[in-house]
Amino acid sequence: MKLWKRSVNVRVGLLYLLPSIILFSMFVFYPMAKTIYLSFFLTNQNGLPVYFNGIENYTYIFSSDEFRNSMKATLLFVIYTVPVSVLIALIMAILANEKLKGIGFYRTIFSSTMGISVAASAVVWLFLFHPSVGAFNNILKAINLPAVQWLLDPEWALLSVSLTTIWMNIGFNFLVILGGLQNIDESLYESATIDGAGYFTKLRRITIPLLSPTLFFIITISLINTFQSFGQIDILTKGGPIQSTNLVVYSIYKEAFVNYQFGTASAQAIVLFAVVLIVTILQFKFGERKVHYQ
Amino acid sequence: MSNLKKLFAFGLMFVLMLIISACNGEEAADESDQTKGETEENTAPANGEKVKIEFWHAMSGPNQQAIDDIVADYNASQDKYEVESLFQGSYEESLTKLRSVGGTADAPAIMQVFEVGTKYMIESGYIEPVQTFIDKDGYDISQLEENILNYYSVDDQLYSMPFNSSTPVMLYNKDAFAAAGLDPENPPETFEEVKAAAEKLTNGDMKGFSILLYGWFFEEMLATQGGLYVDADNGRTGEVTEALFNGEEGRRVFEFLKEMNDAGTLGNFGSVWDDIRTAFVSGQVAMYLDSSAGISGVVESAPFEVGAAYIPHSEEADRNGVIIGGASLWMMNGISEEEQAGAWDFMKYLQTAPVQAKWHVTTGYFAINPAAYDEAIVKERWIQYPQFQVTVDQLQDTKPSTATQGALISVFPESREHIVTAIEELYQGGDPQAVLDKAAESTNRAIEIANKTSGN
């Protein structure tokens, strides 16, 4: 009885949560449970789980060079793309935050990559990277540098794909950071100016601290998105050469929809989920300390 | 405060899960949406009385146009059936779509499946072997090209109707040959000769030789030496248990590539057909292997004279010839008998000499019916493009054997990926035998899983 009374808040709360609980169960928990279930099976040519394989799918992927290589490529890819794209977007946003005539034009241009789909931009970059008629190699040729096999050389391919991804991510990052900048109270800058603060002092003491919640948000989202990059890989390299761009999500796709091995694909998906979860928790544990909430 | 943080962290976890599952979910949803959209379109009545025959294919670009033209001609030629041709993406993509509707009433009547999907289709349970209709109808298949039938026949049963068949061919730049002091009318035939020619042809921007990073070309160079891809006579006489392509014949192919790569006479233009063709046309490579279906496009866009030759073979083995590539048409079994009858009628129409002649000259695929080669348009075309003649000769010179019949395994697409990885590793300085063994091992695992899970 006591418990019934005490839990009234919880019960009311649950009632409010009910719609989302139902939706989450349908579209999140059920697929999640199904993925875990499938990860213990081998599937036949029609994708039905027919052979119980225990934890062998997991032991297989952990012992396979291919998956370890995918993990490594994914981590490198995240390291190459996230910091650079956030930094470039930050610099562009600070520049575009100045109140100048015609700044709206630049804001539109800078955020325009957000409006281009992954597939379309990847195709454009595919032409830029083209080994024989691509723009990049023509430029290198014009200044007498040797041509680079952008997407065919395993040393270069991941960098090339990262370059594309940075370019694609800048638009969204720019827009969010610019939004954050516009939210900073003008009066703070005015007082600082009266106190005699210079441009960079204001940037360091006012802009960055007040922007930190936005930066934290954008870094978290970028990390998660980058871990799940797929479209540009599919179009630019198909995971090659020598698996050097075979990011985990692409590897999952190949395993599931080319090889029709839903079991091992599910096991990889679960591992990816765990990794993203750990990275995000770590980020909250260590990254959020530096965030200044108003 | 820390509670709030925890709550936030939990919230984020949920969002995360949502994103992950949405990513997985989206794809599946996209696919079924697309197929749904398309089938709805099809069932919409267009012409009242005619029986609708749905035909899924994977031909894009000029080849799609060619299919659409043939279908339009067929529809105009009779008033019982209405064939509708639907492009469903690449071979891989269309097969994935079929997997979701196979065996149901939503499945198409006719499905075009690439050659390496043959084994999968036979085992899928979605299909009715065309042999059934051949027997019922008393259709004479002896008029069709034997070497092509050979590929699609399993235990003397013809499971699918050959449709677009191609073989590999070596294309070379005749002008570059002349400039390098080689005889343009006498292209190299063996690995050693190709190597020597590549040495002479490599000059500045131009590399001597190249192949597309695609498993098919390896299979062909293996088969022309009489090498088997897998055991049980390439899967033609029993259950496949292991890959054999890492034997002597396979090693010769890899050594051939490695030696040229080390000598700097081999170009690498990736795994996209158009890229290697562009490289050839723009003079970055003097010889390369292409599909016979690519010839007309290359000949038309090349600013120099293009020669066609048989694919090279090792001097340690006789030339056995080539395996048929391309795709065939499968009859589905989930559909009504009326539709099947219409689909069969359409298949027969496709095999007639005039249709095959038209198909051959517009696409470069073989005529399944050799009588087509006597048609006037083909003769004209061959004068214009003598390169076509070479591909037909090469096919007709092929010695029938289990090697040139091609392997029959259900995990072919996966195995091809392993071969491509092996070639890439080879180009990066890998040891021919070691990289081949690795590819064979991965293929063996795929075969093992397929054997474990089939028949369940």
CATH placement of domain A73-247+276-290: 1.10.3720.10
Percent of chain B predicted with pLDDT > 70: 89
Locate the chain B residue with the closest alpha carbon to A269. Answer: B20
Count of beta carbons in the 10 Å neighbourhood of residue A142: 8
Contacts of A251 (CB under 8 A, 6+ apart): A66, A67, A70, A239, A268
Domain ranges of chain A: 73-247+276-290
**Which residues on chain B are in Cβ contact (under 8 Å) with A32?**
17, 21
- B294: which 2 tokens? 């690519």
Locate the chain A residue with the closest alpha carbon to B423. Answer: A242
CATH placement of domain B168-321+411-453: 3.40.190.10
Instruction: Please give the Cα distance from B125 to B146 (Å, whole number).
Output: 26
Locate the chain A residue with the closest alpha carbon to B213. Answer: A241
**Which residues on chain A are in Cβ contact (under 8 Å) with B417?**
254, 258-259
pLDDT tens profile B282-300: 899 999 999 988 888 888 8
- Which residue among B270, B282, B411 sits closest to A151, beta carbon to beta carbon? B270
Q: Give residue for tokens 């051949």.
A: B134
Q: Mean pLDDT across the stretch B2-29?
A: 51
| pLDDT (0 to 100) of residue A7 | 86
Contact (Cβ atoms closer than 8 angstroms) between residue B344 and residue B420 = no
Count of beta carbons in the 10 Å neighbourhood of residue B409: 23
pLDDT value at B5 more than 80: no
Torsion sign over Cα A253, A258, A260, A263: negative
| pLDDT (0 to 100) of residue A170 | 93
CATH placement of domain B25-166+325-384: 3.40.190.10
CA distance, residue B412 to nearest chain A CA (Å): 9
pLDDT value at B453 more than 50: yes
Q: Give residue for tokens 């970055």.
A: B284
Question: Of the candidates B274, B257, B213, which has an alpha carbon nearest to the alpha carbon of residue A127?
Answer: B274
- B153: which 2 tokens? 């026949």
| pLDDT (0 to 100) of residue B12 | 56
CA distance, residue B134 to nearest chain A CA (Å): 28
**Which residues on chain B are in Cβ contact (under 8 Å) with A56?**
none
CA distance, residue B41 to nearest chain A CA (Å): 26
Q: In Å, what is the CA distance from A32 to each residue of A24, A27, A36, B18?
A: 10, 9, 6, 9
Torsion sign over Cα B181, B185, B187, B189: negative
Phi, psi of A196 (to 5 degrees): 90, 20
- Which residue among A45, A258, A261 sits closest to B124, beta carbon to beta carbon? A45
Question: What ipTM did this prediction achieve?
Answer: 0.71
Q: Give residue for tokens 């020669």.
A: B307
CA distance, residue A286 to nearest chain B CA (Å): 13
Two domains, one topology: B25-166+325-384 and B168-321+411-453: yes
pLDDT tens profile A165-182: 999 999 999 999 999 999
Q: CB distance from B231 to chain A under 8 Å?
A: no
Q: Which amino acid is at A55?
A: I
Q: Say which DSSP state B156 is in.
A: T
Asked if B124's CB is within 8 angstroms of A51's CB, the reply is: no
* pLDDT-derived band at B329, boundaries 50, 70, 90: very high
| pLDDT (0 to 100) of residue A294 | 67
Q: For chain A, which ranges sit under pLDDT 70?
A: 1, 294
Count of beta carbons in the 10 Å neighbourhood of residue B444: 19
| pLDDT (0 to 100) of residue B328 | 92
Q: Which amino acid is at A60?
A: Y
Q: B3, B20, B411: which to substitute to probe chain A, counting the most A Cβ within 10 Å?
A: B20
Percent of chain B predicted with pLDDT > 90: 37
Listed by number, the residues of chain B in 166-195 with a beta carbon closer than 8 Å to a beta carbon of chain A are none
Asked if A258's CB is within 8 angstroms of B413's CB, the reply is: yes
The mean of the pLDDT values for chain A is: 89
Domain ranges of chain B: 25-166+325-384, 168-321+411-453
Locate the chain B residue with the closest alpha carbon to A23. Answer: B18
